[in-house]
């Protein structure tokens, strides 16, 4: 088993969002990675600069952060070659580790653009070191910059930040400071390659919560009418839990509910609605145990939203 810690640098349209290629808003220009063994020692490294094929200049804001000149990129290889060589270098049995949740998705989006996504079948399970760092040293929710973590852990700054190989190296250094049990218990699932059909739907039981990823729906309104999407089963016994607070819309992308399993306790349900590149919709549901405090917060939140809607309705009637 290889642990692959990788980092990508990407460019965006120098002309701004209006004229960008919607199929490739972020074009990868550098891949850096280190291979880590089970003792968390770095055993190998990989680095490729990538010659851009879509955007012909580096966006100013990107240039400020990443110290790469466009002419340096001209010496790089094509994305197709870099991605193929990267996956070959990873070997057959690996887990990805990245700082944050964007790199795994962008790698896939770039591969899809070049018609080579079948080389990396999804959904992709990976480990988000930024999240694991927060779980270990912070509140599990906040996310900090890689350099901040390096400072906090007093790791020597051998290289500049925001270059792919250096950031992969630093991420591996943070990984060394994390407990294996915490790592194993908190994998992340990237669903850029989301389930299309009912038979592809994903049900995963983690130690303290359950995750479900639905099939695609052409119309967004149909999602919350689906019985599987809205079911609330206990993460432990998987029996139906009784609804205490019915699903309500927190915002157009997120719904909440609260239910009770008589044996195991109070469960918070969360449904996040996601839109695919092809303008289809799917749901990601998580069911985890909660406490009275959060239940009350959600109850108040639901009441407040209901009240706001009523006010809006009566205001509309008066007009
Ligand atoms: Zn139960």
Distance 264 CA to ligand 1 centre (A): 4
Gap from CA of 269 to ligand 1 centroid (Å): 14
Task: Give residue 63's pLDDT.
Answer: 72
pTM of the complete model: 0.88
Count of residues for the chain? 319
DSSP letter for 16, please. -
- Residue 233 Cα to ligand 1 middle (Å): 8
- Please report, in tens digits, the pLDDT of each residue of the chain (319 residues total): 889 999 999 998 888 888 898 899 999 999 999 999 999 999 999 999 999 999 887 777 777 777 777 788 888 999 999 999 999 999 999 999 999 999 999 999 999 999 999 999 989 999 999 999 999 999 988 999 999 999 999 999 988 888 899 999 999 999 999 999 999 989 999 999 999 999 999 999 988 899 999 999 999 999 999 999 999 999 999 999 999 999 999 999 999 999 999 999 999 999 999 999 899 999 999 999 999 999 999 999 999 999 998 888 888 777 6
At residue 145, the pLDDT reads: 95
DSSP secondary structure letters along 201-230: -EEEE-SSEEEEE---BSSGGGGGG-HHHH
- Position 319 scores a pLDDT of 64
pLDDT of residue 155: 94
Give CA–CA dist 44/35, Å, rounded. 5
Q: How far is CA 254 from each of CA 224, 227, 248, 251, 273, rounded to the nearest angstrom?
A: 11, 17, 9, 5, 6
**Segment (H or E) for 294:** helix 292-318
Distance 188 CA to ligand 1 centre (A): 24
CA of 228 to the centre of ligand 1 (A): 18
Other C-beta atoms lying within 10 Å of the C-beta of residue 213: 20
Q: Tell me the C-alpha distance between 234 and 213, whole Å.
A: 16
CA–centroid distance, 262 to ligand 1, in Å, is 7
Q: From the CA of 289, how far away is ligand 1's center (Å)? A: 10
Distance 237 CA to ligand 1 centre (A): 4
Q: Is 71 exposed, middle or buried (0-12, 13-18, 19+ CB in 10 A)?
A: exposed
Contact 50, 30 (CB under 8 A): yes
Q: Burial code of 139-157, b = ≥16 C-beta within 10 A, e = fewer?
A: eeeeeeebeebbeeeeeee
* Residue 46 near residue 31, CB atoms below 8 Å: yes
Q: What's the pLDDT score for residue 99?
A: 97
């Amino acid at each position: 088993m290889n642990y692959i810690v990788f980092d990508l640098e990407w460019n965006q349209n120098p002309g701004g969002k209006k004229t960008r290629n919607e199929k490739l808003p972020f074009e990868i220009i550098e891949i850096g990675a280190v291979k880590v063994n089970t003792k968390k020692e770095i055993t190998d490294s990989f680095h490729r600069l990538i010659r851009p094929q879509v955007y012909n200049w580096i966006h100013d804001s990107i240039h400020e952060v990443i110290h790469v000149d466009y002419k340096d990129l001209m010496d790089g290889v094509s994305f197709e070659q870099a991605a193929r060589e990267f996956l070959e270098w990873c070997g057959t049995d690996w887990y990805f580790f990245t700082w944050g949740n964007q790199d795994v998705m962008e790698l896939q989006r770039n591969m899809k653009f070049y018609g080579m996504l079948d080389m990396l079948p999804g959904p992709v399970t990976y480990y988000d070191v930024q999240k694991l760092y927060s779980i270990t040293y912070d509140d599990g929710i906040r996310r900090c910059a890689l350099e901040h973590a390096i400072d906090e852990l007093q790791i020597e700054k051998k290289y500049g930040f925001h270059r792919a190989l250096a950031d992969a190296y630093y991420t591996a250094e943070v990984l060394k400071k994390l407990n294996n049990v915490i790592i194993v218990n908190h994998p992340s699932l990237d669903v850029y390659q989301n389930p299309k059909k009912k038979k592809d739907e994903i049900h995963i039981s983690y130690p303290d919560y359950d995750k479900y990823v639905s099939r695609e729906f052409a119309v967004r309104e149909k999602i919350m009418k689906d019985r599987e999407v809205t079911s609330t089963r206990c993460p432990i016994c998987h029996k139906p839990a009784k609804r205490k607070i019915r699903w309500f819309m927190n915002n157009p992308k997120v719904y909440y509910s609260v239910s009770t399993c008589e044996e195991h306790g109070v469960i918070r349900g969360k449904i996040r609605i996601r839109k695919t590149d092809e303008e289809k919709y799917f749901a990601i549901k998580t069911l985890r145990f909660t406490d009275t405090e959060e239940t009350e917060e959600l109850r108040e939140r639901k009441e407040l939203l209901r009240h706001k809607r009523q006010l809006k309705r009566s205001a509309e009637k008066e007009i």
